[in-house]
Structure 1
């Protein structure tokens, strides 16, 4: 039984249990969801509550009443379906280092610098003196009513300001799935040790929600999220001091108002940031215009007890949020594991590993076949092999400098998938990359939705209209027979190439012999000379291998050596005793012989 069938059976059993529970409780059997919805769940394997929205036959009531119970089953299978595994220590360390590179370290990050209160993003709670904000953070209060427009004109202004913050936070939630509303308290301001830029940031973040009705807005402490210290500030400080060390656990497990300031100062001190504290009494946030911010010495930091509610994105990107989810879940997708495992040991400046040879490509089964290729652009052999390899492997990385044909490969991948009836999603950080691939698709681009601005809904609907009005394209020419003939021709040429370029029993590749042969056998005179030479070659020579013949040719091609040899043969024929001369006498033997000859005198 396959994984999808197992999941379907378990979901089916859960649905039947829920029906029985409903019958026992109310006397009526609830519908829960149809079989088709169960089949789609088993195929899609949802991992979060929002995934159920895309499943036909599942409504809002199902999501609210049964969603979590179904997720408890599908999440178990999601890890197996993705070939997941436990997160090894080395891999977790690599992911943490990669996550650090995703964090935005610049003045544009509100977790590092906030010059003034932004109408859309933040609100200074200390402008509401009657509100016990510290009681919300550290006491038993969990809800504060911030304003009521029926009370005063001032409350009207507060309502309008907070309403804009709510609108911005909710927009971010819709578009990115992140709810980043926090109370920042206290603040720290100063200058980085390298003097690169000023700092004015919250030291800790407390999760809250803002809820409104027609008259009032209330602030509620959000117990579903963790309060935390500002790790972005610590990372910026680490980079400014030229260090490289892991980020600390920044979750606030237990805290109380009496010691919170002291505990916060100690936490940052333990992580290399010394912060002075002269005043801990909450105060209003001062707006600084350009050039008005206090001039601090590099490395100087001081605590400023501001309390601000606003949008403080704890993740610089969705990728960083995914990394954090992987690290906290301690499970990793098999594909991602293959990509990041031993990444810290990789020498990115090395030319190794070498590209796969033709034999290795053939052995791995990723040799390009014409039947699997659909040309929308011209492709070289390397690009063709990539298109074949994507079907053989679960993951593939294609790298190369600009102009090496990566966009052509992407276009080829899209075309191949579409021909097989698949739908393709291409994601890129840069709009230029999307535009290049979109243009390369040519006539096929009318079946694409190019979304580079989520706010431009008019463009989205125009593209959707063009796509739907284009209709289904007619089936083109059947290329299977042509592809088979091309594959046969390629196989024949490959066999010829193997024969020509692979050294045989003689010890040399045939193409090299052809390159060395200067005789033109089509010329009658040269052919006659060749036959005479062939008839006089000793048969013993024909049995020798190329390396031996090469050494013989090298020896007998030495003119000086051959002259000496000829002289020796002439002398030995007239003076036979020369052949009896010993050549192994040492200097001692020669000395003894001289002594004997002198005695004879």
Structure 2
């Protein structure tokens, strides 16, 4: 046996407990979960009838009602969460000579039980067998094969026509060696007995060559060469693929963000992957989109989950977009057993009723809208001159500036002496329009800030933030600025065009009483001062 085959066998052993802890090897009659059926009701049940729980046990007896409640509650939970019937009728028990466990007492024949009136009043609960043909305990067979090295052939038991308990016992006993001293004991019990992993065990035991040839399975088993091969087998799916994939080649039926689309496109290109995320992050939605995409390109999808709730979450989304006819739920055992062809007939009818429509106009419109969004995204992320900043970066700087402490500015005499009436007017106009000006407007010859910008006086992020703060403050005091300029202008006309520094100071002092507070006036002077050095430089 190769290393990989040994690893596969260990996997198989880990899937099923073959020790005495398993009720299917060492059955335990418990007071809280084992129902001992009354003979009359048991006979009806084995005959294929639907039997009331009151025909199987006395619900007025505290010792009987307790295991009934426990067993039925657990059976309902497993059905809802995993979609499997775990409530079994055990008919007959087998014992054998062994030193592997202290007491061998395994259920011999098993029948799956379905419940009616699940979740209703206990007294109204009814039971019936899924199939009246007995199944010999598969875990017992596996235990004897793996732990006792008994060469029992499963095929002989599975291929038996019209199997009965007697016929199965004869075949089983004939394949057991005499020194095993296997014996059949009478007895019946109803209990939750679970062995959902047995099909996987059979696959691991019977398909080792196929598993070895599968690179992914071999890598999971620890094969070094397969691991190296997987590392090199990386999909070249691009993260920006949604920006240019033709709409007629994209089959998403639910909303998907860029990360989800990347995962879907990678899977469609054959990439092995794992999608992780906490609850509510769109895993089920991504799976539904992936299933729809595979269906659209003519592929079949096997979707499995450990719990029924996960299957329901995806199935609900598939149904909501009108693809329910493409989904075959193998867990709906009752519907499949009673009407096995109905799901297929219904699906074919649904497919025939789908109209053949032309979506070329909508696809063209979608492509145009998408291109606008792509162009807009590129524009706001592209760095612009002269500051080498993108629109997004400027927004980030502006938001960061809001949390920084305000900075003061000193008004130098040389700056104030250089102010003229025309410069004041130009500054007012610039401040009023600055928020809507683009870079090319600021750099034009008519801009009072052009020279200062070109000389690098607003080159650093700190300078930009200071300018933005100045504009922000001046915008709120625009009315006060206009009143002030009107008064200054009137005095300037009387005394000449040049505005003296003493006049500015006196005018500012006389206007403070009309401001809401001294703080507003100081803010006005400080923000105006941030532009005065630029004006004094001759910009």
Identify the TM-score tier after normalising by the shorter chain: 0.3 to 0.5
TM-score of the superposition, structure 1-length normalised? 0.39
As a proportion of its length, which structure holds more helix? 2
